[in-house]
Amino acid sequence: MNTTTKTGMSYSDLTHLPEDNKRHELIDGEHIMTPSPNIPHQRATGNLYIRLYTFVSENRLGEIFIAPLDVVFSPYDVVEPDILFISNERVGILTLNNVQGAPDLVVEVISPNTESIDRQAKFQLYERCGVSEYWIVDPSERVVDVYGLAAGSRYETIGRFAGAEMIQSRALSGFSCRAEEVFGQEIE
């Protein structure tokens, strides 16, 4: 967990906001609010979650969750990844209300309103906080970018997967899914 002293909005402030069906997150104390996602986002999230949930459950690897669920890295860094996986070895970071620390795997599905946040701010946050593997799923390009922490705690590209290519994962060794299965049919 990142314990750097920061200023700005805190997790306590965030929990007191009125419910408005929008996603409220904090990165470096900055409040980020995004409206509900679009159909391609929801389709990709659901399709991928079903496949990941099935794999994790059948192999008894840990816990897998879908948004909304707060991941608290520090009082000033709180996000709601679209999908997250926590291995059996790390289930101690689960509390009744949220996740306290870095999941083993985080998946963000890009929407038009979140692309720069997912590719820049969250990429840097997940890297800095030690999320072992980060997937960026882009429904408009129909690709899945997979990054893994390397020496020096920096992300390196594991792969960019599209079409019939099989998504590869270090965090979920043996997981098998063609990239095209994530996206379903395109909407014109």
Residue 125 lies in a domain: yes
The whole-number pLDDT of residue 4 equals: 43
Q: Please check whether residue 156 is in contact with residue 173, taking contact to mean a CB–CB distance below 8 angstroms.
A: no
What total of structural domains would you count in the chain? 1
Query: Whole-angstrom Cα distance, residue 70 to residue 68?
Result: 7
Residue 16 lies in a domain: no
The boundaries of the domain holding residue 170 are: 21-183
Residue 159 lies in a domain: yes
Residue 111 lies in a domain: yes
Global pTM exceeds 0.85: yes
Helix (H, G, I), strand (E, B) or coil at 91: helix
Residue 93 lies in a domain: yes
Q: Please check whether residue 146 is in contact with residue 158, taking contact to mean a CB–CB distance below 8 angstroms.
A: yes
Residue 54 lies in a domain: yes
Q: In Å, what is the CA distance from 52 to each residue of 2, 25, 113, 166?
A: 28, 24, 25, 13
The whole-number pLDDT of residue 12 equals: 87
> Domain with 122 in it: what CATH number?
3.90.1570.10
The whole-number pLDDT of residue 188 equals: 54
Residue 153 lies in a domain: yes
**Closest to 132 measured CA to CA, from 96, 100, 87, 166:** 87
The whole-number pLDDT of residue 7 equals: 64
Q: Which residues of 138-159 are buried (b: 16+ CB within 10 A; e: fewer)?
A: bbeebbbbbbbbeeeeebeebe
- Each residue's pLDDT, cut to its tens digit, for the chain (188 residues) gives 444 445 688 888 888 888 877 788 888 888 888 888 889 999 999 999 999 999 999 999 999 999 999 999 999 999 999 999 999 999 999 999 999 999 999 999 999 888 999 999 999 999 999 999 999 999 999 999 999 999 778 999 999 999 999 999 999 999 989 999 999 866 55
Residue 9 lies in a domain: no
